[in-house]
Amino acid sequence: MTDLTNMRLLDEVNSPADLKDKSREELKQIADEVRQEVIDAVSVTGGHLGAGLGVVELTVALHAVFDTPVDKLIWDVGHQCYPHKILTGRRDRIRTLRQGGGLSGFTKRAESEFDPFGAAHASTSISAAHGFATSRDIQGNDNHVVSVIGDGSMTAGMAYEAMNNVGGDQKRQVVILNDNDMSIAPPVGAMSHYFSRLVSSRSYRGLRRFAKSVIKPMGLENPARKAEEYLRGFAMGGTMFEELGFYYVGPIDGHDLDVLIPVLENVKQMQRPVLVHIVTHKGHGYAPAENSADKYHGVSKFNVVTGEQQKSAPGAPKYQDVFGKTLIQLAETDDKVCAITAAMPSGTGVNLFAKAFPDRAFDVGIAEQHAVTMAAGMAADGMKPYAAIYSTFLQRGYDQVVHDVAIQRLPVRFAIDRAGLVGADGATHAGSFDIGYLGALPGMICMAASDEAELAQMVATANEIDDRPSAFRYPRGEGTGVALPKTPTPLEIGKGRIVREGTSIAILSYGARLQESLKAAEMLAAQGLSCTVADARFAKPIDADLTERLVRDHEVLITIEEGARGGFGAFVLQHLAEVGALDRGIKIRTMHLPDVFQDQDKPDLMYDEARLNARHIAACAIEALGRGDVAEIEAFARA
């Protein structure tokens, strides 16, 4: 027998094909080495750790049994894909995860042929896999299609829409349900493993076919099928999945290759939709993660030995915490205030509110559509719901925003976190589009906070709006360090503010680019160019008086926003066109995110790429004005 103790088998694995000739013991060692590689890499880069550690054995088993990339392997969300990337030729770049120019933290088609479908939002994998299976059958191919979806993602309706369609079509497709929260599975043990191997085996399926041929002439096929389903459901669970048209196998231990591999080999032979239910543990194999309440779901850089994460120096409060604490203040005197989030309580600050008012805080899971319409129902019955949802995730509930909220003018308050660029999470999590898609809705009030004090006042403002929906957006991370009001006061609807007075150039900022706008004004002042800086506060209704005054009293107007084209700048231009303010010689420039999906990087570098930092604003003003020295601006920025 080969001594494996001093061999590093992972060094021999450059693609999944290199797993095919490995023994079961060798695959177990490779799994251990992959787990250590993930831990070492994430300790340097930060990122999602717990989910990846939970699927190491599953990843090894899938690549050992199936023939990727010909067989399609689709990971739901993709934050658990680090072991997959290590085994698919990206190990040499694994320490560039989530870095500028490096590997994405999720699956990405442009990155590897082993990533057939990109992901980062939840509950898409079964639908995408069904698309691949349908395409395969139309083209007359014979490859397998496998999707891996977590129990958290199974809270979203899209997963069940897909399963209903798959079960009806009966196309050959494998769904791996990765249950890592024990929210679905009964206890896993020897009998469960035995039944899983039995019902997925060729002999059992052969017996089923024989029995079917005997009872079909008797007219007993349907009653017998039901009886067998319920017997298997009684022994193993999974009756619901059987009713949706899937052949259910499980639950099995997702960390045991001696169980996983035989089951997957059996499943590979089936000619119908199959759901394999595995039970795993987030953070498996790394004690600090296993012992942590969040299982190291998302971590900063950390010490591998102790698990201690790097802590940033204390700074200004995070925007999400300002939202949560301000909402608590309002709720102390208003018993109708409540908060709803969709699986992001800590990311939105709703966790703080939940501690103070547990009966008025609701985490509905990964179900943004439901969250929005639930908020609409509460608003219709007189409550004051705040739907705290990331900008990128609110996209998933847009029809509900339009149909269930806006058309009925229901006063749902949308707290839109992660507005603008988000750094390491890249394009899939950027909050780029909400200004345009909410501003297009009749009656919607749209606000953007330029700092944490403004955010507190906007939370209070939304609380006073009882006749229509409202939204306020704010960025990820820490505020600017300004003093917070002890008692936030509501703002006047549709009114901005002048922050700095000047004469030649006007910068109208919507949201968190205000500080960069003020820096730009300083750069321009150093060249003798006088600049007004205004905080728009509202994109809808727009401050008509302020906007028209800026046009009337300045040679150049620049709008700036952390959003895609077609947002605030477009609203300003449309208003000015309607009142005839563009009929004279004013020069207007709109600054917004570029018309591309930006990859991950440090936020400052991403805003550099987007040309939305101070030096870009100042340069834009000089070029429009026709006076000043852009080279001097660059020198000022470097100083």
Instruction: Please identify every residue annotated as catalytic.
Output: 282, 368, 396
What is the residue type of 141? N
What is the residue type of 507? I
SS3 string, 287-308, reads HHHHCCCCCCCEECCECCCCCC
User: Under a CB-based contact definition with an 8 Å cutoff, are residues 59 and 83 in contact?
Assistant: yes
User: Under a CB-based contact definition with an 8 Å cutoff, are residues 639 and 577 in contact?
Assistant: no
User: Taking the mean position of all CA atoms in its chain, how far away is CA 150?
Assistant: 14
DSSP label at 314?
P
Token couple for 138: 């139309």
User: Under a CB-based contact definition with an 8 Å cutoff, are residues 278 and 196 in contact?
Assistant: no
User: Under a CB-based contact definition with an 8 Å cutoff, are residues 153 and 160 in contact?
Assistant: no
Alpha-carbon span 381 to 454, nearest angstrom: 29
Alpha-carbon span 431 to 423, nearest angstrom: 11
Token couple for 262: 């035989």
C-alpha closest to that of 35 among 361, 316, 282? 282
Strands 337-341 and 384-390: parallel
Phi, psi of 173 (to 5 degrees): -160, 140
Residues β-bridged to residue 173: 273
User: Under a CB-based contact definition with an 8 Å cutoff, are residues 146 and 72 in contact?
Assistant: yes
Residue that the structure tokens 């698990």 belong to = 307
C-alpha closest to that of 12 among 70, 284, 23? 23
> How many residues comprise the chain?
639
Token couple for 500: 């700095």
User: Under a CB-based contact definition with an 8 Å cutoff, are residues 301 and 309 in contact?
Assistant: yes
Helix, strand, or coil (residue 386): strand
Q: Exposed e or buried b for every residue in 33-53, given b needs 16+ CB within 10 A?
A: bbbebbbebbbebbbbbbbbb
Give me the DSSP letters along 401-466.
Answer: IIIIIITTT---EEEEES-B--GGGGGGG-B-SHHHHHHTSTT-EEEE-SSHHHHHHHHHHHHH--
Strands 445-448 and 538-540: antiparallel
User: Under a CB-based contact definition with an 8 Å cutoff, are residues 534 and 510 in contact?
Assistant: no
User: Taking the mean position of all CA atoms in its chain, how far away is CA 533?
Assistant: 34
CA distance readout (Å), 154 to 59, 149, 486: 20, 7, 42
Task: Bin 110: left if φ > 0, else alpha if -120 < ψ < 50, else beta.
Answer: alpha
Cis before 541? omega within 30: yes
Alpha-carbon span 311 to 14, nearest angstrom: 35
Report helix, strand and coil shares of the chain as percent, to nearest 5: 45, 15, 40
User: Under a CB-based contact definition with an 8 Å cutoff, are residues 151 and 77 in contact?
Assistant: no
What number of CA atoms fall less than 13 Å from residue 253's CA on the CB side?
13
For 28-122, where are the E strands, in sequence order? 47-48, 72-75
Q: How many CB atoms lie within 10 A of CB 447?
A: 28
